[in-house]
Amino acid sequence: MHGNVWEWCHDQASLSYYKTSPTDDPPSAADVGQDYHRACRGGSFLRHAREIRSAKRAFWAPEKCFFDIGFRVAAEIREPGLPSAIPPAEQGQHALLFDGKNASVQTPVKLDVRKPFTVEAIITLPVIPDEPTFVISDLQTGGLGFGPTPEGKLQSSLNAGKNGRADHDGYKSVESRDDILMNTPIHVAATFDGQILTLFVNGKMQREQRHFDTTLNSPLTVMLGGNPNDNGLPSPSGMFSGAMREIRISNTVRYDAHFTPATRHETDEHTLALYHCDKNKGDQLTDHSGNNNHGQIVGAKWVTYNGSAIDNDSEVDASP
């Protein structure tokens, strides 16, 4: 939209940002302080006709106000059949509860991020984290990181072909448009087709990150609920707080458009690991893919599908 009044944007202004930003739907320029100028776009009724266009940009300090600056109200129109939350779990399904401090699951899965993949899980987030946290990650000098952010979004980061430890520009990230619903089970997924990293929340395609000329693998195996360090356990970072179930890691792109998430994932020839969280006892997270990528539970607690604690002496549900 353009004309009438300038559109106040939350994006921070930068004269040089668009020279290096992604072509499609670029995010805000880097945060350089709350007093930095904010972008205005589209021109106003006071401008010449040549300036009344969507690409027109200006910027002012956030505390300024003028009679030809305003904002536009927008409402999302959800496509028919696209759920805002996934259906509740079936009776007999359980979950693992992570405390955001020491709880994690170490798996033997080696994810090849040089080839197509999909990572996905059903999570329940009780609070917005204070720092980026990880649902699924092997983000050390390469690899993938995937989880909630302090802004209440979902974010995925992937090594872009540089040494992530020596070069802070070694990773490219993409963040969801939609906020993550609190205290509600949601399906989250990230896919990579070799060129484009895409996020999904509850089956709705969010944003994409492009321009991956090459990617680097992590030397570590995948961790659930945190990001492993160079020595593996017991010193991970970015610890996830919340419940997790139906975790699936695949070596193919499973989603390329909006979809309706399943309440229970299935295994096939592309499944590297599948964790239903059916077992409700012990320190092993069973892999149902047939690849024996069983995870070692460290500190995470078994809970029922609705979040209540499970007595360790309770009967084990051994459903496949």
Sorting pLDDT into bands at 50, 70 and 90, what band is 146? very high
Cα–Cα distance between 240 and 227 in angstroms, integer?
Answer: 9
**Residue intervals in the chain for CATH 2.60.120.200:** 94-304
**Higher per-residue pLDDT: 190 or 33:** 190
Most confident of 5-19, 95-109, 169-183, 230-244: 95-109
20 DSSP assignment: H
94-304 to CATH, choices 3.40.50.10190, 2.60.120.200, 3.30.540.10, 2.30.40.10: 2.60.120.200
What separation in angstroms does the CA of 31 have from each of 18, 40, 56, 264, 292?
A: 15, 17, 22, 40, 44
pLDDT tens, residue by residue, 266-313: 999 999 999 998 877 889 999 999 999 999 999 999 988 655 555 443
pLDDT tens, residue by residue, 59-102: 888 777 888 888 777 766 655 555 566 666 665 578 999 999 99
**Higher per-residue pLDDT: 141 or 80:** 141
